[in-house]
Amino acid sequence: MFKKKFYITTPVYYVNARPHLGHAYTTVFADILARYHRLNGKRVFFLTGIDEHGAKIEEAAKRAGKEPKKFCDEQNAVFKKIWKLFNISNDGFIRTSSDSHKKAVSRVLKTLFNNGFIYKGVYEGLYCEGCEQYKSERDLVDGKCPDHQKEPVLMKEESYMFKLSAFGEKLKKIINNDKLKIRPLGKKKEILSFLSGGLNDISISRKNVKWGVSLPFDKSSTAYVWLDAFLNYLTGIGWNGDLKNLPNFWPPDVQLMAKDILRVHLSIWPALLLALKISLPKMIFSHGFFTLNGWKMSKSLGNVIWPEELAEKFGVDGARYLLISSLAYGADGDLSLEKLAEKYNADLANGLGNFTARVLTLGSQIGKIKISGLNKNIGKKIKEIQKNTDKNIKELKIQEALAEVWRLISFGDGELNKTEPWKIEDTECKVRVLFNLIILLRSVAELLKPFIPQTAEKIFRSVKISGKTINIKKGGILFPRI
Ligand code: MSP
């Protein structure tokens, strides 16, 4: 049978530091979408990876007293370990320092040079090493890069340039008519207004950076790290740089990221694809940005919660839940450990945990229940929530999708309080009431599969269906109170 494909990407993260909660958020978000589409029968490819080249990484390696290659190998292991801890179901993991990636990048550079999209010029501008990007005056606040609280340095170098300016108008059109969707719509507007200012050609070579892909037409320079990094989305699914042979999964259905890298993803990235005559991604989605106690989370600012700390405190599923429920569609959000602990107790220990325990305790007293007809009202509610959850996930409103599941849990709590099965003396009547509640609990677990897969699995183990019977076991505590 023909299966529709779904290709989703996260950015390749810089390896100058360990992954922090912002990285974990994007990766868990992508994981939820990947799991959801797999469960719905699509052929899914979920790609994540690391961005290893450039001045910033070279510097970080130097500070650590290591060769860049060795430093990156170690960081690679750290990233993989954390994604494993978080149950990330990625199908591919791309390292931009891998030979296959570098070869493809080199091939693309040659093509662009031969086709006249890369030419030799001089570039002068303010450069922020933190962003690895040239900045214009209007990007700065009090003369500093607002993201890194650092003054950019003036750089002037003979350089190879990419003809970005040739693509501004075309991109505007493509974005305007949603051939390349930008969501949320507010971001689309922002990007269109940014593109209205026109695009300048950019420098794509670095003379003083050794840790990178050398230019095939001038070995004294390496390629600008962003150009190298963008191509991961193609090499990560097996592309070798041959324009006549694009991978099956191309193009991405969704590319996830936050606003910090949205502009480059809607200027340099699609321009590169246009220059190469490769089809564009279908959608670029910019989720909100976390701040921690009001500040951008960044190691250089000393303001981070590490993902493994969160998992240790709240469990892996607890951490996944808290991350996803912290940001509304496209909106930024401020975190604090206190707020997270409150939410954990309210929604997980009390909400889901308590409901599950109550139903399983009552159910396990009976042990086995025959499957029969579902109460109409409960059946209707379950269907309604399933529909709403689907709709929200498809629109990438995953916080809202989760909130729907919690509506079903509250509804279940309400039913439990209304029917008071512990007081029912007639066994037949009690079994009927409990049957409905158990189906409701199973529906909750079904909906939770992409979000908190281990917890869903635990619930299923407690309410196993075999033939026409459900066997009910009391499980352990899902989320101990903090
Ligand atoms: N290496 C580049 C991306 C190249 S992609 C071709 C890069 N790396 S990064 O390590 O800085 O990662 C940026 C991304 O991490 C953001 O776009 C977002 O996905 C995630 N986040 C980093 N900090 C974040 C928050 N504070 N909040 C939410 N997401 C954040 O840029």
Residue 37 catalytic? no
Q: What are the structure tokens assigned to 41, written together?
A: 């029968």
Atom of ligand 1 nearest to the CA of 51: 1
Least confident of 24-28, 141-145, 263-267, 342-346: 141-145
Ligand 1 near 292 CB (within 6 A) = no
Query: What are the tens digits of pLDDT across the range 87-98?
Result: 999 999 999 999
Q: How far is the CA of 229 from the centre of ligand 1 (A)?
A: 13
Residue 287 catalytic? no
Ligand 1 near 13 CB (within 6 A) = yes
Q: How far is the CA of 412 from the centre of ligand 1 (A)?
A: 39
Residue 2's pLDDT is 75
271/198 Cα distance (integer angstroms): 13
Neighbour-count burial of 201, counting CB atoms closer than 10 A to its CB (0-12 exposed, 13-18 middle, 19+ buried): middle
Atom 12, ligand 1: which residue's CA is nearest?
13
Query: What are the tens digits of pLDDT across the range 227-272?
Result: 999 999 999 999 999 999 999 999 999 999 999 999 999 999 999 9
Mean pLDDT of 199-210: 92
Check: CB of residue 167 under 8 Å from CB of residue 274.
yes
Atom of ligand 1 nearest to the CA of 131: 31
Query: What are the tens digits of pLDDT across the range 12-34?
Result: 999 999 999 999 999 999 999 99
**Residue in 46, 94, 393, 394 with CA at minimum distance from that of residue 249:** 46
Mean pLDDT of 315-328: 97
Ligand 1 near 17 CB (within 6 A) = no
Count CB-CB contacts under 10 A for residue 289. Answer: 17
Q: pLDDT-derived band of residue 296, with 50, 70 and 90 as boundaries?
A: confident
Q: Which of these is catalytic: 70, 179, 299, 380?
A: 299
Place of tokens 């009910």: 472
Residue, of 206 and 317, whose pLDDT is higher: 317
Q: Which of 18, 25, 79, 334 to mutate to test the pocket of ligand 1 (most atoms within 8 A of CB)?
A: 25
Residue 131 catalytic? yes
Kindly state the percentage of the chain with pLDDT values over 90.
88
Mean pLDDT of 335-341: 93
Query: What are the tens digits of pLDDT across the range 33-89?
Result: 999 999 999 999 999 999 999 999 999 999 999 999 999 999 999 999 999 999 999
Mean pLDDT of 145-169: 91
Mean pLDDT of 390-416: 98
Check: CB of residue 21 under 8 Å from CB of residue 75.
no
Query: What are the tens digits of pLDDT across the range 424-451?
Result: 999 999 999 999 999 999 999 999 999 9
Q: In degrees rounded to 5, what are phi and psi of residue 162?
A: -105, 135
Q: How far is the CA of 298 from the centre of ligand 1 (A)?
A: 10
SS3 letters across the chain = CCCCEEEEEEEEEECCCCCCHHHHHHHHHHHHHHHHHHHCCCEEEEEEEEECCCHHHHHHHHHCCCCHHHHHHHHHHHHHHHHHHCCCCCCEEEECCCHHHHHHHHHHHHHHHHCCCEEEEEEEEEEECCCCEEECHHHCECCEECCCCECCEEEEEEEEEECHHHHHHHHHHHHHCCCCEEECHHHHHHHHHHHHCCCCCEECEECCCCCCCEECCEEEEEECHHHHHHCHHHHCCCCCCCCCCCCCCCCCCEEEEEHHHHHHHCCHHHHHHHHHCCCCCCEEEEECCEEECCEECEHHHCECCCHHHHHHHHCHHHHHHHHHHHCCCCCCEEECHHHHHHHHHHHHHHHHHHHHHHHHHHHHHHCEEECCCCCHHHHHHHHHHHHHHHHHHHCCCHHHHHHHHHHHHHHHHHHHHHHCHHHCCCHHHHHHHHHHHHHHHHHHHHHHCCCCHHHHHHHHHHEEEECCEEEECCCCCCCCCC
Count CB-CB contacts under 10 A for residue 255. Answer: 23
Residue 1's pLDDT is 59
Q: How far is the CA of 11 from the centre of ligand 1 (A)?
A: 7
Mean pLDDT of the chain: 95
Ligand 1 near 421 CB (within 6 A) = no
Most confident of 130-134, 136-140, 143-147: 143-147
Ligand 1 near 230 CB (within 6 A) = yes
Residue 429 catalytic? no
Q: What are the structure tokens assigned to 69, written together?
A: 């290659």
Place of tokens 């607002």: 146
Residue 305's pLDDT is 86
Q: How far is the CA of 160 from the centre of ligand 1 (A)?
A: 27
Ligand 1 near 22 CB (within 6 A) = yes
Residue 299 catalytic? yes
Q: How far is the CA of 230 from the centre of ligand 1 (A)?
A: 13
Residue 265 catalytic? no
Q: Which of these is catalytic: 37, 56, 128, 430?
A: 128
